[in-house]
Amino acid sequence: MAKQFYDLKVSKVLRRTKDAVSVYFEVPSDFKDAFAYKAGQYLTIKLDKQGVAERRAYSISTSPINSAELGVTVKEVQGGKVSPWINNVLKEGTILEVMPPLGNFTFDINSSNENSYVFYAGGSGITPIISLVKTILHTENKSKVLLYYANTDLQSIIFRDELESLAKEYSNFKLVHILNTPDSSLESEMGRIDPEKCRKYLQKDWDNFDIQNSEYFLCGPSGFMSQVEIALDELQIDKKKIHKESFTVEENNSTKSTDSSSNANVTRKVKVHIYGEEHEILVKPDETILMAGIRQSLDPPFSCQIGACATCQAKVIKGNVEMEADDALMEEDKIDGYILTCTAHPITDDVEIDYDY
Ligand SMILES: Cc1cc2nc3c(=O)[nH]c(=O)nc-3n(C[C@H](O)[C@H](O)[C@H](O)COP(=O)(O)OP(=O)(O)OC[C@H]3O[C@@H](n4cnc5c(N)ncnc54)[C@H](O)[C@@H]3O)c2cc1C
Ligand code: FES
């Protein structure tokens, strides 16, 4: 069976703001290949919390240009099971179980590229974005990078010093802070982002900026991302140029009914290909394919369990399934038959899926 988790020692815990810390890992030389990563990807950390194994995804906030560094940055969610522990208890020297990097919020960063990139980060959504920004600036000297970074106030800005140093060092990088509560010590745009402001900023912030042909990267709270998406839609930006990473799934996006008459009260058999083996599992009416696979000891890969990360992705070979949420899948993946097993229910009796695809 493929190894899913590796023991990594925490080499440093660095406080960034009053409710966010960066956690750095020591990667032994035997694990270097497994932990090679692309800017924008995430790690999954597994923790035992009161006898229950919890898994959480955290975007890598370091850049692969410095291969010696691997770290994530975690914002404390009040009342959460994992992020308060990471913020307030986790110490240097602790061994954590970590899954190697995954994720599609990446780009083919290449020294011959001559692109323009626009990044929209809201709060802790800066984590994958700082990795992408640093990697692009270091690698593509002919590209332009524009970053809009929205925060509640001055004190909540993660990586402020590092971003401002990058803005000083690279003339092809423009950083625009957006603060709900402006502060006289920092030049910023004011208030919550909305489509009108988003369009206005974009049209004024850089002369001759190629708005239509830029690549757009969005990561932040769902309300923030949907406002930016409306603006990009109004500007008729090609959807293929819009890349999104969500840390949570909005209630509205995760309530697709699976109570269709084809599914109600029916336990179905599903054939599963995983780790080079074939298994037949029973999926109860109230179970997802992932839950049934875990219950029947297949040890399938997963992280968020809410349809936000795609760690649990598999390909449908036969039959039909219905997903409660599919935001983490790219359009071309959906067309090619990929599903998120953590939100998927079989709706026919002949479903066969492949995790190994
Ligand atoms: C692909 C991916 C990448 C991620 N990268 C990062 C990252 O780089 N940094 C980071 O801090 N987090 C990141 N997250 C979010 C992270 O995985 C956890 O969801 C978060 O730390 C909360 O976990 P918890 O155990 O503390 O809270 P939980 O016990 O899971 O949740 C407690 C309550 O808070 C709500 N909640 C959960 N997550 C959030 C959130 N992000 N904002 C507001 N409310 C929330 C839940 O709905 C629940 O009601 C990422 C998530 C995904 C899917
Ligand atoms: S486990 Fe994250 S999308 Fe399924």
Number of domains in the chain: 3
Least Cα distance to 240 among 215, 218, 220, 222 occurs for 215
3-class SS of residue 119: strand
Any atom of ligand 2 within 6 Å of the Cβ of 308: yes
The 10s digit of each residue's pLDDT in 36-94 is 999 999 999 999 888 889 999 999 999 999 878 999 999 999 999 999 999 999 999 99
Q: Which of 45, 46, 306 for mutating ligand 2's site (highest number of atoms within 8 Å of CB)?
A: 306
Q: How far is the CA of 27 from the centre of ligand 1 (A)?
A: 24
Q: How far is the CA of 39 from the centre of ligand 2 (A)?
A: 20
Task: Tell me: do 135 and 208 sit in the same domain.
Answer: yes
Q: Which ligand is nearest to the CA of 43?
A: 1
Question: What is the pairing mode between strands 173-179 and 144-151?
Answer: parallel
Q: Which ligand is nearest to the CA of 77?
A: 1
- Exposed / middle / buried, residue 15 (Cβ in 10 Å: 0-12, 13-18, 19+): exposed
Q: Which ligand is nearest to the CA of 74?
A: 1
Whether 328 has a pLDDT exceeding 50, the answer reads: yes
CATH number of the domain encompassing residue 67: 2.40.30.10
Whether 1 has a pLDDT exceeding 90, the answer reads: no
Query: According to the model, what pLDDT value does residue 255 have?
Result: 45
pLDDT band at 189 (very low <50, low <70, confident <90, very high): confident
pTM of the model as a whole? 0.94
Any atom of ligand 1 within 6 Å of the Cβ of 248: yes
CATH number of the domain encompassing residue 157: 3.40.50.80
Any atom of ligand 1 within 6 Å of the Cβ of 100: no
**DSSP states along 61-111:** -S-TTSTT--EEEEEPPTT-SSHHHHHHT--TT-EEEEEEEE-S------T
Any atom of ligand 2 within 6 Å of the Cβ of 121: no
Question: What's the CA gap between 206 and 38, in Å, rounded?
Answer: 28
Question: What is the pairing mode between strands 95-102 and 6-17?
Answer: antiparallel
Any atom of ligand 2 within 6 Å of the Cβ of 323: no
Q: Atom of ligand 1 at shortest distance to CA of 105?
A: 1
Q: Which ligand is nearest to the CA of 57?
A: 1
The 10s digit of each residue's pLDDT in 110-153 is 999 999 999 999 999 999 999 999 999 999 999 999 999 999 99
Instruction: Find the domain containing 319 and state its range.
Output: 268-354
Mean pLDDT of the chain: 93
236 vs 260: which has the higher pLDDT = 236
- The residue from 51, 70, 102 where one domain ends is 102
Task: Tell me: do 53 and 90 sit in the same domain.
Answer: yes
Task: Tell me: do 287 and 234 sit in the same domain.
Answer: no
pLDDT band at 204 (very low <50, low <70, confident <90, very high): confident
3-class SS of residue 188: coil
Whether 256 has a pLDDT exceeding 70, the answer reads: no
**CA 263 to centroid of chain Cα atoms:** 31
Any atom of ligand 2 within 6 Å of the Cβ of 218: no
Q: Atom of ligand 1 at shortest distance to CA of 82?
A: 25
Task: Kindly report which listed range (12-21, 187-196, 251-260, 281-290) carries the lowest average pLDDT score.
Answer: 251-260
Question: What's the CA gap between 265 and 69, in Å, rounded?
Answer: 50
Question: What's the CA gap between 8 and 26, in Å, rounded?
Answer: 6
pLDDT band at 262 (very low <50, low <70, confident <90, very high): low
